[in-house]
Structure 1
Amino acid sequence: MKKVRTDKRRKKKRKGLKIFLIVLLVLVLALIGYLGYAYWKTSSTFDKIHTPISGKANSSVSLDKKQPFSVLILGVDEREGDKGRSDTLIAATVNGKTNKIQMLSIPRDTKTLIPGYDSNPHKINAAYTYGGVKMADATTTQFLNGIPFNYYIKINMDGFKDLVDAVGGVEVTNDKDGLKLGSKTFEKGKISLNGTDALAYVRIRKTDAEGDFGRQKRQQQVMSAIAEKALSTGLIWRFDGILNAIGDNIQTDFTMTDITRIARNYRGALGNVENLQVTGEGSRVSGGPWYYVVSDKERARLHDELAKNLELN
């Protein structure tokens, strides 16, 4: 009898193990199937958005070795029949060894020369209108006394709200009272933003005592919040929405391999973002356009700040 009971126990154990292995196999196959779909979907998205700058030599960076790299971020208001201007211009540097990100917002009215266009001063946001990403890249490098950009990301600001909605909204801390855009008012303190609200929040300028600088801070704040949310592990079911929003509204010269390596090797830098500002003064010459004028000394300071994080000699 004991032998019979023992055999029964063994059979039950084998049956239990078999069920466990079948369940495990089903889970593994489901995961492989999902990852296969995810890889295909991500590859398709990057095929759609990958747009290298024509004629620009690649400034290679070893992302596997955590070498510092720089990104030019352009927020462009594009409408049908109008190429638009770069309403947002951010020079970002990322250091994977020190886990530090710098985000320098350059005011759109900054007075500068535009290489390859003419010898007259212009507002820096006009560079995109005159020559697309390539001219915006060259102009920003010139303004920053030679800081190179390894990559660029161009975001359609009207589609910005799609990306916020795709990650399920973001939460930020508003440090000002009375921020308004149209009929929308944002209270001081921690606020939750859907896509429409986030777009309004980053466009406020007139009701902010800091003007364009306050707007730049909010743009950086929301971009950081999107990045953190997009990399969180709880967004597996929002995968399609995120990729669709990216595919419809973003262009970049990042490859899928680049993004994979950055997610693996530079993720720790997301929690250490330093926001930099350009110091200058407003000026209107002979009744002409209003410019934000930045001194050569300030441009040199900004160059040195960014060069340090990029570990440039």
Structure 2
Amino acid sequence: MSKSRLTNKKTKKRKGLRIALIIFILLLLGIVAFLFSIWWNAKQTVDDEIHQGIDSIDTTVAKDKINKGESLNVLLLGVDERKNDSGRSDALMILSIHPDDDSIQIISIPRDTRAEIVGNGTTEKINHAYAKGGANMAVDTVEKFLNIELDYYVKVNMEGLEGLVDAVGGVTVQNELAWVDSGYYKKGYAYKEGEIHLDGAQALGYVRMRKQDPEGDFGRTKRQRKVIEAIINEGASFGSVTKISDILDVLGTNVETNMDFTDMQNLFLNYRNTRKNINTYMLEGQAQIIDRVNYLIVSEEEINKVHDMITK
């Protein structure tokens, strides 16, 4: 082979390497730009649309706990809110996040639980707290009822649950009761016993049903916890990165929380392993009619038991 042909071959090889390197750099820049746009859009959505501070929680304490990797308690409020209606918290749960043993405890408080409504001077159903005084009164009421400290609250409009489930690509749950929905949301849909995959409308019907369940509201809260757990797992999966725009659209119009974007970011980074071990429990009590109103009366023993589960 002549010297000139050898030189040309080396030149073409170097040129090919340069082109490959340029393509790699462009791809890398594209990925960085994509990830930055996701980060920026998420930050804007959380801080401008979702974040809502309340007087009853001092988030400086919670921020310090996150930085130290300590346990956190989050009040989840599933609220029915329609136009010209303040709504009631039909789903009320405490999400206790324990990084020391990488676990999450989801504790449901039945909506008929009789409790002192702090700031209102009455003793009635605990889900009335949100209707009478919003998230502030709901937080104060739950804190006093269980003698705990809440670090954050998250309020979700139940109508937005449908969009959120669709945004993460649906959820899979283990269904313990077969029934055909006769309600408004997914009328005629048959929920089979066993593992089922639900889209948004099916998930909403799944957490709404109560009358066909022998356990009534207790059965409904079980299904609510199943869907919450499924959303946590789907939302935390890598595949959800491609769905982040849809998720943010739903969150921006249906979720309110006193977490800012930095809180969420640090929570995800420092507590990401806790979702691998999720336990659920529902506050137990005795049904009782007082002044012609149905209540769930919870004993001091049960309250102390749940208090210890949360503050372990």
- TM-score where L is the length of structure 1: 0.93
Identify which of 63, 79, 84 aligns with 1:76. 79
- Following superposition of structure 1 onto structure 2, how do residues 291-306 of structure 1 map, counting pairs within 5 Å? 291-306=295-310
The equivalent of 1:33 in structure 2 is 33
Cα shift at 1:6: 4.0
Correspondence for 1:226: 231
Contact 1:179–1:208 under 8 Å retained in 2? no
Kept in 2, the 8 Å contact 1:282–1:293? The answer is yes
**1:35 Cα offset (Å):** 2.1
User: Which residue does the alignment assign to 2:270?
Assistant: 265
Aligned-residue offset at 1:85: 0.5
- Aligned pair 1:86/2:103, yes or no? no
Distance in 1 separating the partners of 2:101 and 2:182: 38
SS class of match (1:192): strand
Task: Quote the offset at 1:285 in angstroms.
Answer: 2.3
User: C-alpha displacement at 1:194, in angstroms?
Assistant: 0.8
Structure-to-structure mapping, 1:135-284, within 5 angstroms = 135-144=137-146, 146-178=147-179, 180-182=181-183, 183-284=188-289
* Cα drift, residue 32 of structure 1: 2.1
The letter for the 1-side match of 2:96 is T
Structure 1's 293 and 79: CA in aligned 2 closer, same or farther, altered over 3 A? same
Q: Deviations over 1:104-157 (max 9, x none)?
A: 000000001111111x3200000001110000001001111x211100100000
Q: Secondary structure at the match of 2:112?
A: coil
Separation in structure 1 between the aligned mates of residue 222 and residue 24 of structure 2, nearest angstrom:
48
Answering whether residue 65 of structure 2 is matched by residue 62 of structure 1, we say yes
Q: Is the 8 A contact 1:181 1:207 kept in 2?
A: no
Q: For 2:142 and 2:56, how far apart are their aligned partners in 1? A: 17
* TM superposition shift of 1:179: 5.8
SS in 2 for 1:266: helix
For structure 2, the residue ranges without an aligned partner over 5 or more in a row are: none
Structure 1's unaligned 5+ residue stretches are: 309-313
SS of residue matched to 2:115: strand
Offset, 1:277: 1.6
1:181–1:200 Cα contact (<8 Å) kept:
no
The RMSD of aligned alpha carbons is: 1.5
Matching residue within 300, 308, 311 for 1:307: 311
Distance 1:132 1:116 in 2: 11
Distance in 1 between residues matched to 2:222 and 2:246, nearest whole Å: 27
In structure 2, what residue type is equivalent to 1:100? S
Structure 2 counterpart of 1:112? 115
Counterpart in the other structure of 1:126:
128
**Deviation at 1:13?**
2.7
TM-score by length of 2: 0.93
Check the 8 A contact 1:111/1:292 in 2, yes or no: yes
Counting aligned pairs with the same residue, the percent is 40
